[in-house]
Amino acid sequence: MSIASFLSPATQESVAPPAEGVPLLEVRDLSVTFYTPRGTVRAVRHASFTVRRGEVLGLVGESGCGKSTVAFATLAYLPGTAEVGGSILFEGRDLMTMPAGELRDLRGSRIAMVYQDPGSALNPTMRVGEQVEEVLHTHLGLSGQAAEERAASLFESVGLPNPARVGRRFPHELSGGQQQRVVIAMALACEPDLLLMDEPTTGLDVTTEATILDLVAELKNRVNAGIVFVSHNLGVIARVADRVAVMYAGQVIEEAPVRELFANPSHPYTAGLLSCVPAPVNETGLMPQLRNIPGSVYPASEPNVDACLFADRCPMVQDICRESAPPEIVANAEGHPVRCFFPERVDSDTWGEPAPRPRKPRSTNEAPLLQVDGLHQYYGNDRKKYIFFGPPSRRPVRANVDVDFAIQPGRTLGIVGESGSGKSTAARSIAGLERRTSGEVLLDGEPLAAGVGDRPRGQQSKVRMVFQNPAASLNPRLPIGSVLVRSIRKSRSVGKAEARGIAVELLESVGLDGGYMDRRPRELSGGQQQRVALAAAFAADPELIIADEAVSALDVSVQAQVLNLIAERQRREGTAFMFITHDLGVVRYISDDILVLYGGHVVETGPAEAVLRPPWSPYTEALLSAAPVPDPDAEPSRIRLEGAVPTLRQPFAGCPFAGRCPRNLGDLCDNTPPPMRVDPADPRHQILCHIPLEELAADQRAAMRGRSAVGEAPGGR
């Protein structure tokens, strides 16, 4: 059943044909200001763009640039304290002055939205079917069986498994990707004319993200709607957008067709964003150093000034940029608007030549710093149905099963896998935050106790951990200086004054000056907080730093700063890193060795350059294939994984990946544990698979033929 047939005759009549030449959506000089008790927030300062029917406008920028506010303003959904300037015209009618009743009729029926974090966008106590049916009921007057049937065909059209039954599920019974499909089905229910997608794949696994992006790309052709796609991820934007508007500090600073924008950015900020994303591996297998945009986004708390808001971070800033605001002018022969005085000067070297990274000395024969053998980590105990008797109802979660790896001094081990693969568990076990169930862990040849409290002080300060959310790991009441001084004095016997001196040096080493000593964490931006967290980890002069998704929540420009900081530290002090991330671009940039985990098992391990070339384990292949490429001309990759990492309560009968593997051989894979195969080209490279490696490599090379190059797929998350 096609979506078009969902429109009842009544609705079709009510759709007045828009006047000729009027764009579907026209945002004209929009400004949104929030007056809050903590100050004035200028979320949007100057945003102008149009969206036509049948096209996807990508809205890109770092956090705090006002992208989401623009999206919500388009549904006239802003808190009462917001002051809106300019206009948002939907088919020529201003949404800001529309009566509430008419607005309600538009919402959900002609303008619909898909949100970031689908888990929170769905009512947890309501079956998902009913959540879709209520839209059909409100706008199309459908109820009962008719509504149920249409909900089912909507579920089918967004690729949900078992569409007739899935409506009976509650949101928590669905995976993140399935939840997002439900939200999309809900948005499509009345065949909207305008679809707003606010970071719809942020927070989902790369594999899930890829399947959702496929769906969006398919929708683009199927429904004749205009789509506004908000994302901070250039790879994602490149995959789905037709045109792109780049936002900075609440302004649209550049707008261009997607190919034009990626090939020929005309604003230094756009060029900067593009050069912050970890780039493909070059011939030597070593990535050039990441360039970064210094500083952080012009704060929304600052007033509008008559100057370019990017001036403080711009490498080609001139006096005029600080004296007057650049008008929106036509940049070049292609004629795309850009808010800069010197658009013609922007090119790929605006942010400097990519400097080759100094090669690290190979140290393969050195004794490993950390040696992990047979690490098992189980959570929970066996439970029986009737407490003391009855069949077993719940087994422990097998988060890590027989994980082996080693880290050489001064090298970085990248650990990748989807959520639920056991990456963070491994990190927490090594750090001693969780007591491992079994396995041997040696640090410098000395056994490392399971719990951090049982380790001698010397060992404690040798291993440090940095977490994803710096705001949550820094004590909000302590000034930055005290955090650092504590950390220093815990591991070294120095006086207070001396410790403060070291603390200032540490802050400077992470690019913050001594003035930050007396600030509290909440006065700092996310990137600054993460640098403080790193400085606190450095304070103990550790030999190993475990970074669990330490750059995942940061904007690309800040992510580049932090990654370079880590690389720098490693080169100077020889610190080893265990770097956990779901972003393959980051892993490729930072890792010397890579460990791929799936369902708590190691499925591939080896030196980075070997792991990133075929043969891959089928899981690694799927991960690489799913990562979005910041290149609009890249062919959509071919391998898609549906579903999520399976429950880890049951031991796997065969290969852990068998249930989702596109190369599954059948009975063998399902029921016999696969061998760990050794790559003859490099014996440190090992793959858990039933398929012989020569065969895997041949198949994978054949599958890639015609595609640009080997695994050039950095994600820019």
Partner 1 sequence: MARFLLLRLGLIVVTLLVISFAVFGVTEVLPGDVATQILGQGATPENIAVVRERLGLDDPWPVRYLSWVGGVVRGDLGESLVQRLPITEMVGSRLVNSLILASFTFFVAMPIAVAVGIWAGVHRNSLGDRLASMFSLVAISLPEFVTGVVLIILFSTTLGWLPSSSLVEPGTNPLTRPQILVLPALTLTGVMFAYVMRMTRANVIEVLETNYVRSAILKGLPMRRVIWRHVVPNAMLPTISVITLNIGWLLGGLIIVENVFSYPGIGRMLLTSIQTRDMPLLQALALLIAATYAVSNLFADLAYTWLNPRIRFA
Work out whether 36 is an interface residue with partner 1 (CB under 8 A). Answer: no
Cβ neighbours for 16, distance < 8 A, ≥ 6 positions apart: 91
Q: Give the interface segment with partner 1, choosing from 101-109, 156-164, 555-563, 682-690 (CB under 8 A).
A: 101-109
Span interacting with partner 1, options 250-258, 381-389, 538-546, 619-627, rule CB under 8 A:
381-389
Residue 80 within binding range of partner 1, rule CB under 8 A: no
Distance (Å, rounded) from C-alpha 598 to C-alpha 620? 9
Q: Cα separation of 109 and 136, whole Å?
A: 9
Nearer to partner 1, 120 or 348 (CB): 120
CB-wise, 179 or 605, nearer to partner 1?
Answer: 179
Select 124 or 453, whichever has its Cβ closest to partner 1.
124
Helical segments of 189-333, H only? 206-222, 234-240, 258-263, 268-276, 319-323
Q: Considering beta carbons, is residue 35 or 170 the nearer one to partner 1?
A: 170
Q: Which stretch binds partner 1 (CB under 8 A): 105-113, 234-242, 457-465, 555-563?
A: 105-113
Q: How far is the CB of 110 from partner 1 (least distance, A)?
A: 9
- Residue in 25, 43, 51, 75 binding partner 1, rule: CB under 8 A: 75
Site membership for partner 1, residue 121 (CB under 8 A): yes
Among 47, 122, 466, 590, binds partner 1 (CB under 8 A): 122
Write down the H helix ranges in 510-637: 526-539, 556-573, 584-590, 608-611, 618-626
Tokens matching residue 182: 């439900």
CB 186 within 8 A of CB 164: no
Which is nearer to partner 1, 41 or 183 (by Cβ)? 183
DSSP string for 411-434: -EEEEE--TTSSHHHHHHHHHTSS
229 near partner 1, judged by CB under 8 A: no
| Among positions 25, 47, 70, 183, the unique one binding partner 1 when judged by CB under 8 A | 183
Interaction between residue 117 and partner 1 (CB under 8 A):
yes
Q: Counting contacts by CB under 8 A, is residue 324 touching partner 1?
A: no
* Rounded CA separation 201/175 (Å): 13
Specify the DSSP element, H or E, that contains 403. Answer: strand 397-407
Report which secondary-structure segment, H or E, holds 59. strand 56-60
* Torsion sign, CA atoms 112, 113, 118, 122: negative
Residue 115 or 538: the one with the smaller Cβ distance to partner 1 is 115
Q: How far is CA 125 from CA 62, 129, 143, 149, 176, in A?
A: 34, 12, 20, 22, 17
Please check whether residue 112 is in contact with residue 198, taking contact to mean a CB–CB distance below 8 angstroms. Answer: no
Q: With H, G, I as helix, E, B as strand and everything else as coil, classify residue 404.
A: strand
Smallest separation, CB 649 to partner 1 (Å): 14
Taking CA atoms, 431 is separated from 24, 426, 428, 488, in Å, by 54, 9, 5, 18
Closer residue to partner 1 (CB): 380 or 451 = 380
Among 116-124, 257-265, 554-562, 691-699, which window interacts with partner 1 (CB under 8 A)?
A: 116-124
241 sits near partner 1 (criterion: CB under 8 A): no
- Cα distance between residue 628 and residue 201, in whole Å: 11
Token pair belonging to 396: 């422990």
* Interface with partner 1 (CB under 8 A), residue from 64, 108, 422, 654: 108
Closest contact distance (angstroms) between CB of 173 and partner 1 is 8
Stretch that binds partner 1, among 59-67, 134-142, 645-653, 695-703 (CB under 8 A): 134-142
Gap between the Cα atoms of 554 and 538, Å rounded: 20
Strand partners, 281: none
483-to-428, 455, 474, 478 alpha-carbon distances in Å: 22, 22, 8, 7
Q: Which stretch binds partner 1 (CB under 8 A): 120-128, 231-239, 293-301, 547-555?
A: 120-128
Report the residue from 2, 5, 14, 120 that binds partner 1 according to the rule CB under 8 A: 120
Please tell me whether residue 195 binds partner 1 under the rule CB under 8 A. no
**What is the Cα Rg of the chain in Å?**
27
Binding of residue 170 to partner 1 (CB under 8 A):
yes
CA distance 64 to 73: 15
| Stretch of 20-28, 115-123, 638-646, 676-684 contacting partner 1, by CB under 8 A | 115-123
Cβ atoms of 472 and 554 within 8 Å: the answer is: no
Helix segments in 299-414, DSSP class H = 319-323
Q: Of all helices (H) and strands (E), which one includes residue 3? A: none
Q: Does 139 bind partner 1 (CB under 8 A)?
A: yes
Taking CB under 8 A as the criterion, the residue among 165, 345, 362, 385 binding partner 1 is: 385
* Selected range binding partner 1 among 253-261, 383-391, 398-406, 587-595, rule: CB under 8 A: 383-391
Question: Of residues 2, 40, 83, 172, which one binds partner 1 by CB under 8 A?
Answer: 172
714 three-class SS: coil
The DSSP H or E segment spanning 257 is strand 251-257
Q: From the list 36, 77, 518, 636, which residue makes contact with partner 1 (rule: CB under 8 A)?
A: 77
CB of 331 to partner 1, least distance (A): 35
| Choice from 135, 142, 197, 551 touching partner 1 (CB under 8 A) | 135
Q: Which is nearer to partner 1, 75 or 450 (CB)?
A: 75
| Cβ-based nearer residue to partner 1, 122 or 474 | 122
CB 617 within 8 A of CB 688: yes
Q: Tell me if 106 contacts partner 1 by CB under 8 A.
A: yes
Q: Decide if residue 107 touches partner 1 (CB under 8 A).
A: yes
Amino acid at 420: G
Rounded to an integer, what distance in angstroms lies between the CA atom of residue 375 and that of residue 660? Answer: 25
Quick one: how far is CA 653 from the chain centroid?
33
Tokens representing residue 286 in the block: 């070593």
Rule CB under 8 A: say whether 148 interacts with partner 1.
no
Q: Shortest Cβ distance from residue 115 to partner 1 (Å)? A: 7
SS3 of 547, please?
strand
Closest CB 564 distance from partner 1, rounded Å: 35
In the complex with partner 1, the residue whose CB is nearer, 115 or 577, is 115
Residues in contact with partner 1, counted by CB under 8 A, come to a total of: 31
Q: Is 115 in the site for partner 1 (CB under 8 A)?
A: yes
**157/400 with CB nearer partner 1:** 157
Contacts of partner 1 in 387-446 (CB under 8 A):
387, 393
123 binds partner 1 per the rule CB under 8 A: yes
Which residues have C-beta within 8 Å of that of residue 637, sequence separation ≥ 6?
A: 210, 625, 626, 707, 713
Nearer of residues 120 and 671 to partner 1, judged by Cβ? 120
User: Helix or strand or coil: residue 349?
Assistant: coil
Give the list of residues 6+ apart from residue 379 with CB closer than 8 angstroms, or none. 396, 397, 399
Assess 124 for contact with partner 1 (CB under 8 A).
Answer: yes
Q: Using the rule CB under 8 A, is 322 a contact of partner 1?
A: no
Part in contact with partner 1 (CB under 8 A); list of ranges 103-111, 272-280, 290-298, 647-655: 103-111
The verdict on 109 binding partner 1 (CB under 8 A) reads yes
Binding site residues, partner 1, CB under 8 A: 75, 77, 104-109, 112-113, 115, 117, 120-126, 134-135, 138-139, 170, 172, 183, 186, 385-387, 393
